[in-house]
Amino acid sequence: MIDLVDFCARLSSACGAEQLLTVRLLQDEIAVSLPSHALLAAVHTLRHEFVARFVDLFGLHQSASQGIFHLHLLFALDEEQTWVHLQVDLDKQTPTFPSLVDELPACGWYEREIWEELGITPLEHPLLRPLRLAPDWPQGVYPHLQGFNWSQEVPAAEPHYFELEPAPAGIVNYPLGPVRSGIVESGHYTLRTAGEEIVDMYIQLFYKHRGVEKRAEGLPVELLPLVAERISGASAFAHSLALCQALESLAEVEILPRTLYLRTLLAELERLYNHLGYQADLCQATGLTVAQAQFDLWKERVLRLNATISGHRYLFGMNVPGGVSRDITEQGQQAIRELTVALRRDLETLSRLLLASSSHRDRLETTGILSPQDARLYGAVGPIGRASGVDRDLRRDHPYAAYADIDFEIPALQEGDALARTRVRLEETTQSLAIIDQVLERLPGGPVRVTIPPLPPGRSALGWAESARGECVHWILAGQDGTLQRYRVRPASFANWQAFSLAIPGHNILTDFPVIEQSFGLSFAGADC
């Protein structure tokens, strides 16, 4: 655990001793309030002296306190199992802050988002333009200002589209999307090619922005998990878990032991079907059709198991504030055991065949390399980060549910190519099976749910979970009436998309593109939400 006094002293002196700095320790979170002119120094100190990892940047508008704008930055001190949460008060009339993009390239998207949603300007941001909001969204309408209602009508304005500068001679712009080939999510890529080789790529996402954060505002607490589940359906359990943990943290409620173990079990089942489906998608990209069918069959079997134990193939409805909505019976546990035994056996064969299939392996090796340096700078998380040397996993570094009591390994590689991403996920699949075994062995008895009291007004809390794609971090602020005033979601895919464009240039040819895209296996819905 971090020495709070030492932390305060070092951070204060780095920002200049006369700066006003308040520090509060809430559970695993150090909350620091500081003035805007100390921000750059604080971020620099955190990154270099404390080796903190940037996680999120978002804004908040509190009209109750006469229109105050807050800037929030979240960092992870993984070695100390702690989060550092900076809060900066901004000027009411002209809310601005110095752009952090030079110091932290990963901030780029977050700063654009805060600008379009709240009107807070990051000064000297290199390319300030809208991020999430649709092209026909009118200027000057800021959806995260207090008083903006999720369901209000916003008339269409003249659409504004970002124009790429014209390609130089010999380079071709190759636009793909948002309606793309296959049964895929909507998103746009523009590849720039010189002959066969891809020299650059521009991503245009956020076609699927549904306003999830706004949707959650003002809802009765018991309905909030329904929203969290639908941020990204394939990470439904992880997102609803992060949300429920945030609510439980806010209400200061102790969760029952059986709940913790069941949540671990269900989270790993979700990870299993995602990783199996990932291998199937990658085999589709390389044309290994029998392998694709084999992995798809396993994904289907896990989904059917989910339906048997939870009533829903994607585990919707299992996480509730205070626990899980239903228990897993002896029969259900037996069904899980049978599946894990069969899968473990088959996975050995399938992995061996997969990695020995040269038609598949050759297309993955050295393809789409994301260097460890880029992965760190651009905040890559999850198996994508771990395949490029960013050895971080919330289950080990900030344990939640029952993970602290379970033995498991976190595979990490350095090569950063598509093969590394495949191998990391294959190994994680094996580890998931080991975790499920241990949970079933040690499952404590007792009830699975407690009621949580009404949310204390004005309090905030963090909740987090490692989904199959990486870390999902949620932050909630309770309003005066027991509902949420602000809901902030940072899904794993939002962080990983920025890293994706860096893996494309560099000796990759056009036909590598689908392989690289599938090897990342990102969620558009998660990023856009």
Partner 1 sequence: MVFSWVRKGLRTGVLTTRYPAVHEQMPEGFRGKPVLDANRCLSDRGCDACVQVCLPSALELKQVAYNDDGGGSFGEWQLTLDYARCIACGLCVTACPTGALRMTDDYELAARHREDLRVVNMFEVPTMLDNLNGREKNNGRPA
Partner 2 sequence: MEDPLDEATREAAARLNERVQRLFGHSLHIRHVDAGSCNACESEIKLLLNPYYDVQRLGIFFTTSPRHADLLLVTGPVTRAMEDPLRQTYDAMPDPRLVVAVGACACSGGIFGASAFARAGVAEVLPVDVFIPGCPPSPLTLIHGLLLALGRAEQRVHGRVQRVREDRLLQMFSLGAGGTREKERG
Residue ranges binding partner 1 (CB under 8 A): 151, 219-220, 222-223, 226-227, 288, 290-291, 293-294, 297, 304, 307-308, 310-312, 316-317, 349-350, 353, 356-359
Q: Where are the alpha helices (DSSP H) in 287-357?
A: 289-310, 330-356
Contact between 130 and partner 2 (CB under 8 A)? no
If contact means CB under 5 to 8 A according to the sort of partner, which of partner 2, partner 1, none does residue 435 touch? none
CA atoms within 13 A on the CB side of 180: 19
Contact between 316 and partner 2 (CB under 8 A)? yes
> Nearer to partner 1 by C-beta: 23 or 219?
219
In the complex, what is the shortest distance from the CB of residue 1 to partner 1, in angstroms, rounded to a whole number? 40
Contact between 209 and partner 2 (CB under 8 A)? yes
Residue with tokens 């009533």: 311
If contact means CB under 5 to 8 A according to the sort of partner, which of partner 2, partner 1, none does residue 222 touch? partner 1
In the complex, what is the shortest distance from the CB of residue 233 to partner 2, in angstroms, rounded to a whole number? 3
Rounded to whole angstroms, the Cα distance separating 14 from 341 reads 55
If contact means CB under 5 to 8 A according to the sort of partner, which of partner 2, partner 1, none does residue 254 touch? none
> Nearer to partner 1 by C-beta: 154 or 293?
293
> Nearer to partner 1 by C-beta: 196 or 222?
222
Contact between 156 and partner 2 (CB under 8 A)? yes
Of the ranges 76-84, 297-305, 391-399, 476-484, which one interacts with partner 2 (CB under 8 A)? Answer: 297-305
Residue with tokens 């809208």: 130
Contact between 226 and partner 2 (CB under 8 A)? yes
Contact between 313 and partner 2 (CB under 8 A)? yes
The SS3 of residue 295 is helix
> Nearer to partner 2 by C-beta: 133 or 448?
133
If contact means CB under 5 to 8 A according to the sort of partner, which of partner 2, partner 1, none does residue 404 touch? none
> Nearer to partner 1 by C-beta: 164 or 307?
307
Q: At what angle do helices 39-48 and 4-15 cross, to 10 degrees?
A: 130
Rounded to whole angstroms, the Cα distance separating 129 from 361 reads 40
What tokens does 519 get? 């090897």
> Nearer to partner 2 by C-beta: 109 or 314?
314
> Nearer to partner 2 by C-beta: 27 or 162?
162
In the complex, what is the shortest distance from the CB of residue 347 to partner 1, in angstroms, rounded to a whole number? 12
Contact between 523 and partner 2 (CB under 8 A)? yes
> Nearer to partner 1 by C-beta: 36 or 325?
325
Residue with tokens 């790529």: 201
Contact between 174 and partner 2 (CB under 8 A)? no
> Nearer to partner 1 by C-beta: 26 or 219?
219
| 178 cis-preceded (ω within 30 degrees of 0) | yes
CA atoms within 13 A on the CB side of 110: 27
If contact means CB under 5 to 8 A according to the sort of partner, which of partner 1, partner 2, none does residue 449 touch? none
Beta-strand ranges (E) seen in 143-196 are 172-176, 188-194
> Nearer to partner 2 by C-beta: 41 or 335?
335
What tokens does 468 get? 């199959």
Rounded to whole angstroms, the Cα distance separating 349 from 305 reads 22
Contact between 12 and partner 2 (CB under 8 A)? no
Rounded to whole angstroms, the Cα distance separating 501 from 231 reads 23
The neighbour count for residue 436, using CB atoms within 10 Å, is 25
In the complex, what is the shortest distance from the CB of residue 99 to partner 2, in angstroms, rounded to a whole number? 26
If contact means CB under 5 to 8 A according to the sort of partner, which of partner 2, partner 1, none does residue 220 touch? partner 1
The sign of the torsion formed by the CA atoms of 30, 31, 32, 36 equals positive
Under 8 Å CB-to-CB from 481, ≥6 apart: which residues?
218, 457
If contact means CB under 5 to 8 A according to the sort of partner, which of partner 1, partner 2, none does residue 211 touch? partner 2
Residue type, 457: P
Residues composing the chain: 529
Under 8 Å CB-to-CB from 14, ≥6 apart: which residues?
41, 42, 44, 45, 49
In the set 19, 33, 146, 186, which binds partner 2 (CB under 8 A)? 186
What tokens does 327 get? 């228990």
What tokens does 18 get? 């006369």
What tokens does 229 get? 């589940």
Rounded to whole angstroms, the Cα distance separating 319 from 325 reads 6
If contact means CB under 5 to 8 A according to the sort of partner, which of partner 1, partner 2, none does residue 317 touch? partner 1
What tokens does 475 get? 């932050």
What tokens does 447 get? 């009830």
Q: Site residues (CB under 8 A) for partner 2?
A: 134-137, 143, 148-154, 156, 178-179, 181-186, 206-211, 214-215, 226-227, 230-234, 236, 277, 293, 296-297, 299-300, 303, 313-314, 316, 523-526, 528
